[in-house]
């Protein structure tokens, strides 16, 4: 009946098939024919039951996100679900792939849901700064109970078909032939003639709710929301589902949805959703990818081990190379221990652990890397050492193998030049712990071949990383901007701020922690060693390190950590040290407020991002946002530094940077031409 929705009636069962590639989103061009199809089938005596199924790789993955922010075209999803609930014959959603957001809400409008074993079901709207707006917050608790529904809606994490069956969300799970099984199921339901009760009228599970426990669960979740409105609205909506009659709760959910969808936080999170997908695209079309079967990793330390785990988790066999048997044993033992922790936490089965460990082959001989298709170096951050490693790799790697360095700062062109095959060399900058952190900066050197770059970009996706291609410069995108963000930290302290005050300004902004807490967590000795290597100093941090205050690991750093706790406690000794250093320099303390802290740390961050665009180190401003949201904890509700610059007002940023430039004369504050232009045009573009 339309290109997007078709009907077939067989043996009294009508199958409505939605076909809207790639993910069967509920765009207007789907909603209209779907509404018409369901209206026709409701009144068609030839249809004794109705199955809703999808063509392609997945069931409906949600509302069409590109339509948000535009006028809503009728029929809305809610009208389709309301229509479904008036149908007095069995309605069944046949779910394969993912039933997400509006897709699951549509399925909740059916009497029954059946799923393929591999299917996943969830309400991920919170990840877009939203709450389910098609009745999900009101219907899901009626099926699975309020506590389970709250957990699913606030986390946004989909559950497996098996878990959904156990929770009462699906009625049957099939190993194969989903459609045939769904039709059989539908015939049985039609023949059974049992009562067909729409979910809206099922209240038993709600009546079981322990309201005190629910409120405690909601309060705990709210505490971790870090300024995000959506998780709080999700909790409020589920609370309404318990406390209010169905239609009132539904109306309240709608009101919350409308407010969130128009807000900056959801705009920011939707921006990140599309930015992540855009960043992964390689502009050259029809590029043949290289075959990647086995991965080689040089260095079994924290970084190398984590990278090796990331690949083993993605199913790749890994050859792990170390300089000595002892280092190798230690590295492999750490990997085994990490997997054992996952097993003890229940996030990995013993069988999966054994299977992953079976993918590792240890070696101390470079010749064993000869059968690897991608070899990643994760050795000490020192140019001479790296060049030596690449020289040896050049001698053993097979022709066409991709050679990658995990350097965080060093010049990938120089490393590539130490081989006879610079076209095969690039950077793969993983973030620690590499088996957990999603971000991967892929560094394109001057001579990197486009197919090598495209191969690694695809591979990143296969191991669940969010990849961003960046150019060569000191620190690439993330660490280069991090230096710009941190340049004023000590100056702020010398002028009168305290570490806790600076950190609070950051957490109030939405960061998971501030720069001083972060330093203590990472270990202050790391920065100290880097500074010494580059002949740089930091007045206060260097003194702390000289006193053996390396942060959490020594119980003292910018803060004190008492009795092995990770909770930072302000330390009067550090504050006295800061005042003493200020006095030595003749700086009188003054009151510094949160606004100044943000201006002097985050405005230079944006300014450095503008320079990165100017120099072509990042292809798009949104790539920078992806780096910061996935690798550095930039609050997702603000969309990343470059998106946030628009929210904050670029003209204001330029004006305040100019002010601080005049005050301090420091180059980090000199507004970049690209930033000035953004302030005029509202578009980030290289000049």
Catalytic positions are 105, 125
* Upper half-sphere CA count for residue 330 (Cβ side, 13 Å): 11
CB of residue 28 to ligand 3H9, shortest distance in Å? 12
Using CB under 6 A as the binding rule, whether residue 354 contacts ligand 3H9 is answered as no
Helix/strand/coil for 196: coil
d(CA 487, CA 483): 6
Using CB under 6 A as the binding rule, whether residue 134 contacts ligand 3H9 is answered as yes
Nearer Cβ to ligand 3H9, position 98 or 233? 98
Q: SS3 letters for 99-159?
A: EECHHHHHHHCCCEEEEECCCEEECHHHHHCCCCCCCHHHHHHHHHCHHHHHHHHHHCCCE
Map the footprint of ligand 3H9 across residues 92-111, applying CB under 6 A: 98, 100-102, 105
What is the secondary structure of 281-334 as a DSSP string? --SSSSPPPPP---EEEE--SHHHHHHHHHHHHTT--EEEE-SSHHHHHHHHHH
Return the range that interacts with ligand 3H9 (CB under 6 A); candidates 17-25, 367-375, 415-423, 452-460: 17-25
Nearer Cβ to ligand 3H9, position 18 or 492? 18
Nearer Cβ to ligand 3H9, position 60 or 303? 60
Map the footprint of ligand 3H9 across residues 173-232, applying CB under 6 A: none
Strand-pairing partners, residue 360, are 318
Nearer Cβ to ligand 3H9, position 22 or 283? 22
CB of residue 152 to ligand 3H9, shortest distance in Å? 13
CA angle 208, 211, 215 (to 5 degrees): 140
- The reply to whether omega before 22 is within 30° of 0 (cis) is yes
Nearer Cβ to ligand 3H9, position 24 or 607? 24
d(CA 687, CA 677): 8
Return the range that interacts with ligand 3H9 (CB under 6 A); candidates 126-134, 310-318, 550-558, 584-592: 126-134
What is the secondary structure of 411-469 as a DSSP string? -HHHHHHTSS-GGGEEEEEE-SSTTT--EEEEE--TT--HHHHHHHHHHHHHTT-EEEE
DSSP state of 553: G
Could you say which of 14, 31, 49, 125 contacts ligand 3H9 (CB under 6 A)?
125
Nearer Cβ to ligand 3H9, position 102 or 478? 102
Q: What phi and psi values does residue 623 have, to the nearest 5 degrees?
A: -65, -40
CB of residue 30 to ligand 3H9, shortest distance in Å? 11
Q: Total residues contacting ligand 3H9 (rule CB under 6 A)?
A: 25
Nearer Cβ to ligand 3H9, position 121 or 146? 121
Query: Residues 58, 84: contact at Cβ < 8 Å?
Result: no
Nearer Cβ to ligand 3H9, position 125 or 596? 125
CB of residue 61 to ligand 3H9, shortest distance in Å? 3
d(CA 233, CA 254): 11
DSSP state of 588: P
Residue with tokens 């099984």: 181
Could you say which of 33, 75, 129, 133 contacts ligand 3H9 (CB under 6 A)?
133
CB of residue 317 to ligand 3H9, shortest distance in Å? 24
Helix/strand/coil for 9: strand
CB of residue 257 to ligand 3H9, shortest distance in Å? 7
Strand-pairing partners, residue 98, are 120
Query: Residues 159, 152: contact at Cβ < 8 Å?
Result: yes
Return the range that interacts with ligand 3H9 (CB under 6 A); candidates 129-137, 183-191, 388-396, 676-684: 129-137
CB of residue 34 to ligand 3H9, shortest distance in Å? 14
Could you say which of 124, 299, 362, 639 contacts ligand 3H9 (CB under 6 A)?
124
CB of residue 507 to ligand 3H9, shortest distance in Å? 27
Six-digit token pair at 660? 């601080």
Six-digit token pair at 385? 């050492």
Map the footprint of ligand 3H9 across residues 52-81, applying CB under 6 A: 58, 61-66, 77
What are the respective helix, strand and coil percentages of the chain, to the nearest 5? Answer: 55, 10, 35
**Binding string, 268-287, against ligand 3H9, x = CB under 6 A?**
------x--x----------
Nearer Cβ to ligand 3H9, position 80 or 654? 80
Using CB under 6 A as the binding rule, whether residue 253 contacts ligand 3H9 is answered as no
CB of residue 229 to ligand 3H9, shortest distance in Å? 16
CB of residue 247 to ligand 3H9, shortest distance in Å? 17
List C-alpha distances in Å: 36 to 39, 43, 48: 5, 11, 17
Query: Residues 514, 489: contact at Cβ < 8 Å?
Result: no
What is the secondary structure of 43-97 as a DSSP string? T-TT-SEEEEEE-TT-S---B-GGGTTSPPPSSPHHHHHHHHTT--S-EEEEE-S
Nearer Cβ to ligand 3H9, position 123 or 320? 123
What is the sign of the dihedral through the CA atoms of 659, 660, 666 and 667? negative
**Binding string, 560-599, against ligand 3H9, x = CB under 6 A?**
----------------------------------------
**Binding string, 19-58, against ligand 3H9, x = CB under 6 A?**
---xx-x--------------------------------x
Positions touching ligand 3H9 (CB under 6 A) are 22-23, 25, 58, 61-66, 77, 98, 100-102, 105, 124-125, 128, 132-134, 136, 274, 277
């Amino acid at each position: 009946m339309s290109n997007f929705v078709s009907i077939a009636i067989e043996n009294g069962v009508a199958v409505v098939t939605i076909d809207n590639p790639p993910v069967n989103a509920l765009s207007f061009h789907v909603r209209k024919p779907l509404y018409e199809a369901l209206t026709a089938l409701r009144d068609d005596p030839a249809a004794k039951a109705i199955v809703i199924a999808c063509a392609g790789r997945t069931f409906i993955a949600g509302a069409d996100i590109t339509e948000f922010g535009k006028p809503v075209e009728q029929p809305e999803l809610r009208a389709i679900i309301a229509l479904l609930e008036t149908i007095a014959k069995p309605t069944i959603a046949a779910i394969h792939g993912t039933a997400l957001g509006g897709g699951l809400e549509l399925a909740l409008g059916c009497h029954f849901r059946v799923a393929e074993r591999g299917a996943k079901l969830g309400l991920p709207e919170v990840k877009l700064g939203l709450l389910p707006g098609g009745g999900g917050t009101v219907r899901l608790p009626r099926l699975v109970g309020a506590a389970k529904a709250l957990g699913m809606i606030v986390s946004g994490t989909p559950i497996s078909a098996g878990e959904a069956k156990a929770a009462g969300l699906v009625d049957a799970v099939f190993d194969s032939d989903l459609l045939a099984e769904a039709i059989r199921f539908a015939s049985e339901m039609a023949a059974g003639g049992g009562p067909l009760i729409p979910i809206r009228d099922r209240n038993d599970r709600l009546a079981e709710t322990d309201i005190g426990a629910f409120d405690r669960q909601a309060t705990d979740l709210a505490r971790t929301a870090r300024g995000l409105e959506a998780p709080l609205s999700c909790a409020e909506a589920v609370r309404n589902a318990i406390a209010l009659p169905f239609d009132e709760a539904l109306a309240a959910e709608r009101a919350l949805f409308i407010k969130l969808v128009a807000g900056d936080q959801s705009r920011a999170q939707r921006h990140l959703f599309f930015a992540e997908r855009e960043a992964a695209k390689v502009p050259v079309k029809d590029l043949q990818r290289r075959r990647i079967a086995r991965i080689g990793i040089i260095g079994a330390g924290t970084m190398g081990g984590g990278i090796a785990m990331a690949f083993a988790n993605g199913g790749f066999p890994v050859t792990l190379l170390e300089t000595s048997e002892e280092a190798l044993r230690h590295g492999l033992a750490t990997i085994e221990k990490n997997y054992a922790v996952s097993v003890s936490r229940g996030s990995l089965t013993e069988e999966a652990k054994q299977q992953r460990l079976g993918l590792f082959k240890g070696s101390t001989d470079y010749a064993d890397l000869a059968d690897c298709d991608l070899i990643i170096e994760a050795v000490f951050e020192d140019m001479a050492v790296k060049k030596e490693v690449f020289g040896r790799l050049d001698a053993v790697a097979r022709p066409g193998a991709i050679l990658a360095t995990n350097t965080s700062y060093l010049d990938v062109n120089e490393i590539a030049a130490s081989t006879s095959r610079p076209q095969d060399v690039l950077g793969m900058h993983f973030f620690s712990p590499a088996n957990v952190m999603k971000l991967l900066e892929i560094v394109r050197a001057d001579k990197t071949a486009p197919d090598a770059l495209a191969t690694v970009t695809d591979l990143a996706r296969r191991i669940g990383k969010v990849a961003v291609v960046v150019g060569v410069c000191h620190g690439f995108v993330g660490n280069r901007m991090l230096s710009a963000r941190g340049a004023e930290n000590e100056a702020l302290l010398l002028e009168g701020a305290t570490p806790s005050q600076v950190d609070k300004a950051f957490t109030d902004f939405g960061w998971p922690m501030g720069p001083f807490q972060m330093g203590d967590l990472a270990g202050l000795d790391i920065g100290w060693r880097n500074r010494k290597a580059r002949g740089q100093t930091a007045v206060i941090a260097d003194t702390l390190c000289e006193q053996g205050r390396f942060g959490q690991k020594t119980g003292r750093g910018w803060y004190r950590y008492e009795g092995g706790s990770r909770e930072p406690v302000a330390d009067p000794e550090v504050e006295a040290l800061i005042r003493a250093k200020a006095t030595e320099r003749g700086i009188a303390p003054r009151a510094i407020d949160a606004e100044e802290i943000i201006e002097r740390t985050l405005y230079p961050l944006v300014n450095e991002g503008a320079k990165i665009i100017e120099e072509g180190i990042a292809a798009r401003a949104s790539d920078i946002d992806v780096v910061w949201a996935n690798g550095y904890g930039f609050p997702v509700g603000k969309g990343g530094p470059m998106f946030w610059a628009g929210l904050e007002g670029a003209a204001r940023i330029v004006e305040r940077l100019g002010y601080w430039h005049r005050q301090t004369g420091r180059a980090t504050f000199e507004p970049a031409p690209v930033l000035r232009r953004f302030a005029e045009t509202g578009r980030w573009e290289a000049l």
